[in-house]
C-alpha cells in the first residue's frame, strides 16, 4: 500500500499568493451562505398546496413514485398472533363519527355511475368469507399498536359485487355517511391482499368509536386512511378528496 | 514566503458545509414530527430524570401542531442529506482521504489518551496526524450514525417496502427510538465539535473554509514516561503523492 504522509502535503507560497488563498475562499463562502439563505427564503415564499409548500408537495408526490411498489407486488404488513393484539385499542379520531347509527337502516353505498348506486347491508357483507388480520396499526403521529380486525377482503368484495371493472381506475374514494371524513386511496394499495372492509375488532362487532358498522382496514397505510363508518364508496381517475391531505399531509401516506 | 499545509480538499469542505444546514433542517423537521408523539424519557428505575421535551422547550422553538409541515420538509431534505452523505463517503474512499479518517489498531488506545489530555488529566500529547485518534473515532462514528439514520428512517418511513430494515432495527417502535437517539447523538456531537473548534483556534477553523493551514512543524515534546511506548513511527521519506487540485 502506498504510504500517504499527511505532513508532506505542504507547499511554499508567496505572501501575496497566501493572502489570495485566504481571502478568495472566504468570499466564496459568504456568497454561498447568502445563496443558501435566499434559497431557503425562496422555498418558504412559495405558494401553499393544501397547507404545505408547493415544491414540498411535489416532492411528496415524487416520493410516492419512488417507493410505491419499488420492491415488487403484493407487499404485506407483518402479521401477528391473537395473543399479541392489545385489548385496549386506542381511539384517536372521531371526525365524521356519529353518536348512534341504526345498522338495520345502514347500507354501504357503492356508486357505480350516475344514478346507479349499489346498496349493501351489513348482513349481506357478512355472508362473504371472513378474513382476520392482526397487524401493527401505525398512526401518522408516531405511535403504533398491534390490533386484531376482521371483515371482508377487498378483493373478494370487488369480485363478488362484479366491481372488477373499476379496478382499472386510479383511485377509490370513501366517505362517512355525513361526509365529514373522507379519504382517497390509490387503487394498488386499495386492492392489496390485506385490505379489508372491517366489521369486527377483537372478535366482537366494531365499537361505535371504532367506526361501527363498517370501517376500512388497510395495513399498507397510516391510520388516517383507515376510514371509520363507511357510508359511500366510489372510484375515480382523479384524486378523490382526502381530509388529511387537505390539512397538509401526504396524499399517499403509505408504507 | 509561507509554508502551508493542504488540509481539507475542496470536496470535503463542500460536503461539510452543505451537510451542516441540511442536517439542521432534518433535526428541526424531525422535532416537528417527534412532537406529535413525544414520549421518550430518561429514567432510572421509576424515577424520571428527563422528558424529551418540556412544553416550554417546544413553545420556545414554535414546535407544536406542525406535524404535517415537519413531514413535508423531512421527506424532501432527506434526499439531500442522503445524497451529500453518499458523495462524501464515495469521495473519501476514492481520494484516499479515508486513511486519515478511519480508526486503526492504535486509535482506541490513543483515543483514550486524547480524552485524558483534552480534559487536562494527563499532560501526554498523543500523536497527531491530520486527525488524532479521538477525531478518527468521532468522524467515523458520525458516518456510521448517518448510515444508521438512513436505515432506521427507512424502517419507519416504509415499514412494508423496507420491512427488512424494520426487522433489522428490532421492530417499528425500536426503529423510531434508535432514529431519535441518533439525532440526540448528532446534537451532542455538534456541541463537542463546536467547543473543540473554539479551543483549537482560528488557524484550524479557517482551514475548513480555505483548505490550507500555516504549517507548524510538530516537534515532539520530551515525554519521559510514555515516549518509548507510543512515539509515532518514523516517517519514511517517500515521494509526495500528487494532490487533487483543490482550487475550483
CATH architecture type of domain A70-236 = Alpha-Beta Complex (3.90)
pLDDT of residue A2: 44
pLDDT of residue B246: 46
Residues B76, A11: C-beta atoms closer than 8 Å: no
ipTM, two decimals, is 0.94
B82 touches chain A (CB under 8 A): no
Query: Over chain B (248 residues), what is each successive 10-residue block's mean pLDDT?
Result: 92 97 98 97 94 97 98 98 98 94 88 86 82 91 98 97 95 98 98 96 94 78 53 54 50
Any idea which of A44-53, A179-188, B140-149, B239-248 has the lowest mean pLDDT?
Answer: B239-248
Angle separating helix axes B107-118 and B133-157, nearest 10 degrees: 100
Residues of chain A found within 8 Å of residue B209, distances taken between Cβ atoms: 25-26, 29
Chains A and B form CB pairs within 8 A to the count of 141
Distances (CA, A) of B213 to A13, A200, B5, B206, B237: 12, 70, 5, 8, 22
Residues A63, B241: C-beta atoms closer than 8 Å: no
pLDDT of residue B247: 46
Residues of chain A found within 8 Å of residue B71, distances taken between Cβ atoms: 140, 249-250
- How many angstroms separate the CA atoms of B26 and B22, rounded? 6
Is the bond preceding residue B53 a cis peptide, omega within 30 degrees?
yes
Residues of chain A found within 8 Å of residue B218, distances taken between Cβ atoms: 7
Q: Residue B9: which residues within 8 A CB-CB, separation 6 or more?
A: B95, B97, B211, B243, B244, B246
pLDDT of residue B163: 93
- How many angstroms separate the CA atoms of B174 and A186, rounded? 29
Strands A108-113 and A232-236: parallel
How many other C-beta atoms can be found within 10 angstroms of the C-beta atom of residue B37?
A: 15
Interface test with B, best of A1, A5, A34, A135 (most B CBs within 10 A): A5
- How many angstroms separate the CA atoms of A137 and B13, rounded? 44
Minimum-distance CB partner of B37 among A15, A22, A143 = A143
Residues B4, A136: C-beta atoms closer than 8 Å: no
pLDDT in tens, A143-160: 999 999 999 999 999 999
Residues A142, B160: C-beta atoms closer than 8 Å: no
Determine contact, residues A131/A196, Cβ cutoff 8 Å: yes
In this model, does residue A45 exceed pLDDT 60?
yes
The neighbouring-strand residues paired with A198 are A151, A215
B positions 20-39 inside 8 Å of A (CB): 21, 33-34, 36-37, 39
pLDDT of residue B240: 52
**Chain centroid offset of residue A197 CA:** 17
- How many angstroms separate the CA atoms of A76 and A217, rounded? 13
Which triple of cell numbers denotes residue A86? 392489545
Q: Residue A54: which residues within 8 A CB-CB, separation 6 or more?
A: A46, A47, A48
Please measure the distance between the N-terminal and C-terminal CA atoms of chain B and give it in whole angstroms. Answer: 23
Residues of chain B found within 8 Å of residue A16, distances taken between Cβ atoms: none
How many other C-beta atoms can be found within 10 angstroms of the C-beta atom of residue A138?
A: 21
pLDDT of residue A1: 37
Residues A13, B176: C-beta atoms closer than 8 Å: no
B60 touches chain A (CB under 8 A): no
Which triple of cell numbers denotes residue B131? 486527525
Structural domains in chain B, sorted by start: 4-38+53-219 (1.20.950.20)
Residues B172, A136: C-beta atoms closer than 8 Å: yes
Average pLDDT value for residue range A182-191: 96
Average pLDDT value for residue range A68-72: 70
Residues A36, B21: C-beta atoms closer than 8 Å: yes
Residues of chain A found within 8 Å of residue B206, distances taken between Cβ atoms: 22, 26
Interface test with A, best of B3, B161, B166 (most A CBs within 10 A): B161
Residues A10, B215: C-beta atoms closer than 8 Å: yes
- How many angstroms separate the CA atoms of B231 and B229, rounded? 6
B70 touches chain A (CB under 8 A): no
pLDDT of residue B172: 97
Q: Which helix (H) or strand (E) holds A183?
A: strand A182-186
pLDDT classification of A18: cutoffs 50, 70, 90: very high
pLDDT of residue B107: 86
- How many angstroms separate the CA atoms of A220 and A189, rounded? 7
B65 touches chain A (CB under 8 A): no
Determine contact, residues A107/A231, Cβ cutoff 8 Å: no
pLDDT classification of A99: cutoffs 50, 70, 90: confident
Residues B71, A220: C-beta atoms closer than 8 Å: no
Amino acid at each position: 500500500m502506498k504510504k500517504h504522509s499527511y505532513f508532506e502535503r505542504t507547499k511554499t507560497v508567496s505572501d501575496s499568493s497566501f493572502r489570495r488563498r485566504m481571502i478568495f475562499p472566504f468570499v466564496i463562502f459568504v456568497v454561498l451562505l447568502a445563496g443558501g439563505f435566499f434559497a431557503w427564503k425562496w422555498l418558504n415564499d412559495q405558494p401553499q398546496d393544501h397547507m404545505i409548500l408547493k415544491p414540498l408537495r411535489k416532492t411528496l408526490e415524487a416520493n410516492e413514485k419512488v417507493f410505491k411498489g419499488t420492491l415488487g407486488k403484493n407487499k404485506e404488513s407483518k402479521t401477528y398472533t391473537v395473543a399479541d393484539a392489545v385489548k385496549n385499542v386506542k381511539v384517536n379520531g372521531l371526525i365524521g363519527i356519529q353518536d348512534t347509527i341504526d345498522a338495520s337502516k345502514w347500507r354501504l353505498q357503492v356508486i357505480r355511475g350516475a344514478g346507479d348506486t349499489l346498496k349493501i347491508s351489513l348482513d349481506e357483507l357478512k355472508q362473504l368469507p371472513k378474513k382476520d388480520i392482526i397487524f401493527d396499526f401505525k398512526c401518522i403521529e408516531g405511535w403504533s399498536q398491534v390490533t386484531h380486525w376482521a371483515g371482508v377482503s377487498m378483493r373478494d368484495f370487488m369480485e363478488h359485487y362484479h366491481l372488477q371493472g373499476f379496478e382499472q381506475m386510479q383511485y377509490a374514494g370513501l366517505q362517512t355517511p355525513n361526509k365529514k371524513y373522507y379519504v382517497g386511496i390509490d387503487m394498488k394499495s386499495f386492492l392489496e391482499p390485506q385490505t379489508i372492509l372491517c366489521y369486527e375488532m377483537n372478535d366482537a362487532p366494531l365499537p361505535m368509536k371504532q367506526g361501527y358498522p363498517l370501517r376500512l382496514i388497510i395495513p399498507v397505510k397510516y391510520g388516517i386512511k383507515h376510514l371509520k363508518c363507511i357510508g359511500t364508496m366510489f372510484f375515480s381517475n382523479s384524486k378523490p378528496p382526502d381530509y388529511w391531505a387537505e390539512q397538509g399531509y401526504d396524499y399517499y401516506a403509505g408504507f | 514566503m509561507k509554508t502551508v499545509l493542504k488540509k481539507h480538499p475542496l470536496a470535503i469542505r463542500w460536503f461539510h458545509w452543505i451537510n451542516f444546514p441540511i442536517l439542521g433542517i432534518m433535526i428541526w423537521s424531525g422535532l416537528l414530527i417527534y412532537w406529535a408523539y413525544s414520549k421518550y424519557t430518561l429514567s432510572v428505575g421509576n424515577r424520571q430524570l428527563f422528558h424529551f421535551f418540556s412544553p416550554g422547550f417546544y413553545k420556545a422553538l414554535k414546535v407544536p401542531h406542525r406535524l404535517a409541515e415537519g413531514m413535508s420538509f423531512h421527506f424532501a431534505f432527506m434526499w439531500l442529506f442522503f445524497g451529500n452523505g453518499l458523495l462524501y463517503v464515495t469521495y473519501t474512499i476514492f481520494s484516499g482521504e479515508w486513511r486519515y479518517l478511519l480508526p486503526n489498531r492504535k486509535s482506541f488506545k490513543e483515543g483514550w489518551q486524547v480524552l485524558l489530555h483534552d480534559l487536562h488529566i494527563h499532560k501526554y500529547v498523543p500523536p497527531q496526524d491530520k486527525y488524532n485518534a479521538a477525531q478518527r473515532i468521532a468522524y467515523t462514528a458520525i458516518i456510521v450514525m448517518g448510515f444508521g439514520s438512513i436505515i432506521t428512517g427507512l424502517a419507519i418511513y416504509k415499514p412494508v417496502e423496507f420491512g427488512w430494515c424494520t426487522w433489522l432495527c428490532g421492530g417499528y417502535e425500536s426503529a423510531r427510538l434508535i432514529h431519535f437517539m441518533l439525532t440526540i447523538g448528532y446534537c451532542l456531537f455538534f456541541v463537542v465539535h463546536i467547543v473543540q473548534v473554539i479551543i483549537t483556534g482560528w488557524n484550524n477553523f479557517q482551514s475548513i473554509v480555505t483548505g490550507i493551514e500555516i504549517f507548524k512543524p510538530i516537534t515532539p515534546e520530551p515525554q519521559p514516561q510514555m515516549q518509548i511506548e507510543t512515539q509515532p513511527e518514523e516517517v519514511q521519506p517517500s515521494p509526495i503523492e500528487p494532490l487533487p487540485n483543490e482550487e475550483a
